[in-house]
Structure 1
Amino acid sequence: MEVSIPALLLLLWLKALLNWLVVLTQWPHMVRTFSGFLCISLALVDTFLDVVVTQVFFMENFSIFGLHFTRYHICLLVQAAGFIYGVLHWPAFLLIGVDSYFTESTTEVPWPRKLTHTCGSLLLWVLATFYVFWRPDSSPIMEDEHQCKLTSRSQSSQVATVVLLALAAVLVCTSVLQEKGRRFQSQANLRCSVSAFLSTWSPFLVLLAFLLGSQVEIPAYLDMNVPWLCLLHSFHITLTLRSCSCLLCSPKMQKRWVSVCGRSA
């Protein structure tokens, strides 16, 4: 996918604004889970990269610490970030799942857990960066000085397919059990949990299914964003049969979940 440099800068800043909008509006939830700390780190990395590439764009030609930068390096920096973001999807999916399954959601989070989440997020970024720069097939590509060739998604489409298939399987399973007249508490809880999840994320899931079906190329840099990480967190929370005390769930939605599951108990 080829994008002009001004359009690329606009996309980068729009993504950063979207990330911070979600982080700030959901701040009480962000500081309670590993997913939240990963969202905060992603917003910080995006902002830092945007500031750097914008400075390079306006200064055009300068040197710092012996390194020479021109507008040519904007594409190189964004493509390098895209390579790093492209390999984060499966590790993030698995780590968010582990945190959701083994960590109880509480109002007050002890500082050792916050420190663990912070170190875990930092370590994930460091390992992904080392992995990308050690790969022989991650060389940036630029065809001319005014156009950037951005890599398309890889892991994100795989994770999205797994999420959609898992949700479809759960819906089919609960529907079949309901038609056969089998009423189990766990099955009822799972059904109302999935219903709460779909009521929050159905527009995003429809868009996701459309993108996967149409095979639209999306730059790897844009694939990794805060709403996507929030969806993964909510997905794992849904499968653990817990209340909707999760990212992007309003207090009204939490009360609705409790009332629905209370009636099905």
Structure 2
Amino acid sequence: MAILGVCSLKGGVGKTSITLGLASAALAAGYRTLVVDLDPQADSTLALGATGAAAQDVAAVLDNPAPYVVESALAASAWDPELIDVLMGSADSARHDGPTQAHRLQRLAAALETVADEYDIVLVDCPPSLGGLTRQGLTACERALVVTEPGLFSVTAAGRALQAIDDIRREHAPELRPLGVLVNRVRARSSEQIFRQDELRTLFGPLVLSPVVPERAALQQAQGSGRSIHDWPGAAALELAEIFDTLLERALRSLQNPTHTS
């Protein structure tokens, strides 16, 4: 079971949209997929059509990662009830976002071990901050994808996120590595964005992933209609679907090869 965290230390960069795009690619490839919604806004849960479909949620799992609690917090996605499940997000998870003792950081990892035989890939949608939830999420992961956009504050946040990943690896999760920095919502003709993309490559070199994700209305349209990007019509949706296919393939290749980190 491959476990990939999707994170950002700045809100509004499209982190959940990237998680959903990767889930769409996994579905299109036929992978049994679990999306762990750690963000108290629970947008992944809503977009995947799993709202109210489980007895408990991720907050209960972080209280007690016993197998029966984990099972009670899983819900099938409306995208495909056979291939995609959601570990339900909720606003209640915010109570786990404060300072977290070291032994509690392993609770999500322990929970995922109880379902290791049921999924090919797990996508962990972390909150846009470095609180207890993100730390627990990344501690459970083997790779972490940092989502940013080509703007001044987002570039700074990407650097903080990479540092946080390294700190968590050293202290709690020796298997954790950065998959890379994914630049989202790119507008090809924006001189400011071109400058910021060059800045990202100067700062982070090969960790900046290619292809970037262009800004396309099709992504929001598909999500608003409760459908995956691979299931949405039009050339823009096809372009995005192919990008997410490439990103997922890169993630799985990295997860299968421990020496490959970008």
Whether TM exceeds 0.5 here: the answer is: no
Where relative contact order (Cα < 8 A, 6+ residues apart) is larger, the structure is 1
Which TM bucket (shorter chain)?
A: under 0.3
Higher helix share: 1
Higher strand share: 2
TM-score (norm 1): 0.25
